[in-house]
């Protein structure tokens, strides 16, 4: 369906829907889609869970707690490390025949370079379309959100990853909403050479068991996702599109993430300025989410006789509803 096709720099995606990192694993967890042709064809790209240089066990349990309008997680970037990912998991996702974006994180700038160099040396540009640099995880002691809230670190990390990768892979930088002004780390990532921005990762939060007074999560605090955070995500996409000329000129595309659970939510993100969207928590609730949203979008563009790309950022030309 041509009207749903979007371009992420030089990569054409047949649909604007991507998985949000960490919500469909590295390969096994998304196997469910293999049994559903329609769900798979609704996807434009697959984004892996974060991969790190060495394996990580993640945080103590409990790691997920439900809230009234979303979930709090404190997974702590559990994964088997980059070598195991390349050797044992990558081949499964390749069967999906979709562009793959490998989400990466590290404890230090040096480790980010090492990870990028490993991926570059192993000729992974033949199989992976790009990297999503996660400088926004709220659930780890070193790196993560502490990088993402410091524009200088964001710029350095992106610059160093870019140096190792050359122009072989598309670089997406994933931003944290745990800042006062999202445009500052966004600008820093662009200065560092990012090709695209994705936003938002989870918002810091916590939940307490009132019977005992204990925090529910093993990591004490966690990251909030799901419907509660959608207005924050839409606002942050809107702000970047409004204040950063590279975004409004669509030279730096934005991937909108956070709380999407219907096709209407996708349109909000696109009208705010996103080119592509990521869906995470909603998939835990509805295994047919990609198919359902794809059908809704298809009906919408057919009825309006418009392509999705023509709607990117249109809210910036509109006045508030009651004016
Ligand atoms: C259980 C869980 C694990 C996650 N793991 C990662 C991760 O490994 N790397 C990452 O960049 N984001 C991770 N995220 C954040 C999501 O990619 C996404 O940014 C966030 O959940 C907001 O989208 P949503 O409301 O659609 O879930 C995780 C989110 C959840 C709920």
Is any atom of ligand 1 closer than 6 Å to the C-beta of 176?
no
Is any atom of ligand 1 closer than 6 Å to the C-beta of 228?
no
Site to probe by mutation for ligand 1, drawn from 21, 56, 139, 277 as the one with most ligand atoms within 8 Å of Cβ, is 21
| CA contacts within 13 A on the Cβ side of 262 | 5
Is any atom of ligand 1 closer than 6 Å to the C-beta of 222?
no
Which residue minimizes the CA distance to atom 21 of ligand 1?
A: 225
Is any atom of ligand 1 closer than 6 Å to the C-beta of 27?
no
276 CA → ligand 1 middle, Å: 16
Is any atom of ligand 1 closer than 6 Å to the C-beta of 257?
yes
Is any atom of ligand 1 closer than 6 Å to the C-beta of 258?
yes
Asked if residue 265 lies in contact with residue 232, where contact means CB atoms within 8 angstroms, the answer is no
93 CA → ligand 1 middle, Å: 19
Choice among 86, 137, 270, 312 that is catalytic:
137
For 142-170, the pLDDT digits (tens) are 777 789 999 999 999 999 999 999 888 99
| Paired sense of beta strands 11-13 and 254-257, if any | unpaired
Site to probe by mutation for ligand 1, drawn from 58, 61, 148, 202 as the one with most ligand atoms within 8 Å of Cβ, is 202
- For position 301, what pLDDT does the model report? 96
Give the residue ranges of the chain where pLDDT is below 70: 31-32, 34-37
What is the number of the ligand 1 atom nearest to the C-alpha of 77?
8
Range 54-58, long-range pairs (CB < 8 A, 24+ positions) = 54/81, 55/79, 55/80, 55/81, 55/84, 56/81
Look up 247 and say whether it is catalytic. no
246 CA → ligand 1 middle, Å: 26
| CA contacts within 13 A on the Cβ side of 133 | 39
Q: Which helix (H) or strand (E) holds 34?
A: helix 31-34
Is any atom of ligand 1 closer than 6 Å to the C-beta of 129?
no
40 CA → ligand 1 middle, Å: 20
- For position 34, what pLDDT does the model report? 66
Integer Cα distance of 219 and 215 in angstroms: 9
pTM: 0.97
With 0-12 / 13-18 / 19 or more C-beta atoms within 10 angstroms meaning exposed / middle / buried, residue 118 is middle
317 CA → ligand 1 middle, Å: 31
169 CA → ligand 1 middle, Å: 22
Is any atom of ligand 1 closer than 6 Å to the C-beta of 230?
no
- For position 69, what pLDDT does the model report? 94
Integer Cα distance of 219 and 237 in angstroms: 29
With 0-12 / 13-18 / 19 or more C-beta atoms within 10 angstroms meaning exposed / middle / buried, residue 245 is exposed
- For position 8, what pLDDT does the model report? 96
Asked if residue 275 lies in contact with residue 255, where contact means CB atoms within 8 angstroms, the answer is yes
């Amino acid at each position: 369906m041509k009207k749903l096709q979007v371009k992420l720099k030089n990569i054409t995606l047949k649909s604007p829907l991507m998985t949000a990192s960490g919500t469909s694993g590295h390969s096994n967890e998304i196997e469910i889609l293999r049994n559903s042709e329609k769900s798979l064809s609704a996807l434009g790209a697959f984004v892996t869970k974060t991969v790190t240089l060495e394996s990580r066990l993640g945080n103590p349990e409990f790691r997920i707690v439900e809230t009234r309008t979303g979930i709090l997680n404190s997974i702590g970037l559990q994964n088997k490390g980059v070598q195991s990912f390349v050797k044992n998991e990558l081949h499964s996702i390749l069967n999906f025949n979709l562009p793959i974006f490998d989400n990466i994180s590290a404890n230090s700038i040096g480790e980010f370079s090492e990870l990028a160099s490993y991926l570059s040396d192993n000729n992974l540009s033949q199989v992976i379309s790009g990297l999503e640099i996660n400088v926004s995880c709220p659930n780890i002691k070193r790196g993560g959100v502490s990088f993402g809230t410091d524009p200088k670190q964001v710029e350095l990390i992106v610059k160093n990853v870019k140096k190792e990768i050359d122009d072989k892979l598309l670089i997406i930088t994933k931003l944290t909403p745990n800042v006062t002004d999202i445009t500052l780390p966004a600008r820093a990532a662009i200065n560092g050479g990012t090709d695209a921005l994705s936003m938002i990762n989870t918002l810091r939060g916590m939940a307490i068991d009132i019977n005992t007074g204990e925090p529910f999560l093993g990591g004490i605090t966690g990251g909030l996702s799901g419907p509660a955070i959608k207005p924050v995500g839409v606002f942050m996409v809107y702000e970047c599109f409004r204040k950063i000329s590279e975004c409004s000129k669509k030279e730096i595309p934005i991937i909108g993430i956070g709380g999407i659970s219907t096709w209407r939510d996708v349109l909000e993100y696109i009208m705010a300025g996103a080119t592509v969207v990521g869906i995470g928590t909603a998939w835990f609730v509805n295994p047919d989410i990609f198919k359902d949203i794809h059908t809704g979008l298809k009906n919408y563009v057919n009825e309006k006789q418009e392509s999705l790309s023509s709607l990117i950022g249109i809210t910036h030309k509109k006045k508030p509803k009651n004016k």
